[in-house]
Amino acid sequence: MNIPGKICLRFERGGELTAELMPDVAPKTVEGFLGLLPLEVTVYHSRYCGREFNFPLKTKHSIPRERQTSTCNTGDVVYWKEWELDPTDAAEAVGIYYGAEVLRDHRGYLPVNPFARIPQSQWKRIEEIGLRIWQQGTEKLTIDVLKE
């Protein structure tokens, strides 16, 4: 598979972000995510993980744990699932962070696979989008490979 370098995120109420994929860090996560593109999803603001917006998804193939962490920084794009459940029953989501956070829910720390990063030059825009989703509610998001 020829892996592209970037994906483009376009938000319904305005704004566009470019994320750089990290196949050297999480090759199976990148490959699994790219297999779902193009995507049109609804993004939600996180309740437990602070400055994060996310969207649920269902992958075609089980994505394994890869270089997991429970801490994220602004610009991190991560894959999460309920690792302890059977893959056919497990919830899955992609989270996008607009602030540094320790990831947790009512069960404790949440391990995630970081697989892409939004560069620092876009951090002001990602914060504006994150705050908008938090204050105004859900919105549509379109994601596709960035044609370079």
User: Taking the domains of the chain in order of start, what are their residue ranges?
Assistant: 6-145
Is the four-CA dihedral 95, 50, 126, 130 of positive or negative sign? positive
Q: How far apart are CA 99 and CA 97, in angstroms?
A: 6
Q: What's the fold here for domain 6-145?
A: Cyclophilin (2.40.100)
Q: 132: closest CA among 30, 32, 36, 14?
A: 14
3-state SS, residue 69: strand
| Reported pTM | 0.94
Ramachandran angles phi, psi of 5, nearest 5°: -90, -25
Whole-angstrom distance, CA of residue 5 vs CA of residue 90: 29
Instruction: Per-residue pLDDT tens, the chain, 148 aa: give them.
Output: 567 899 999 999 999 999 999 999 999 999 999 999 999 999 999 877 789 999 999 887 789 999 999 999 999 999 999 888 887 788 899 999 999 999 887 888 889 999 999 999 999 999 999 999 999 999 999 999 998 6
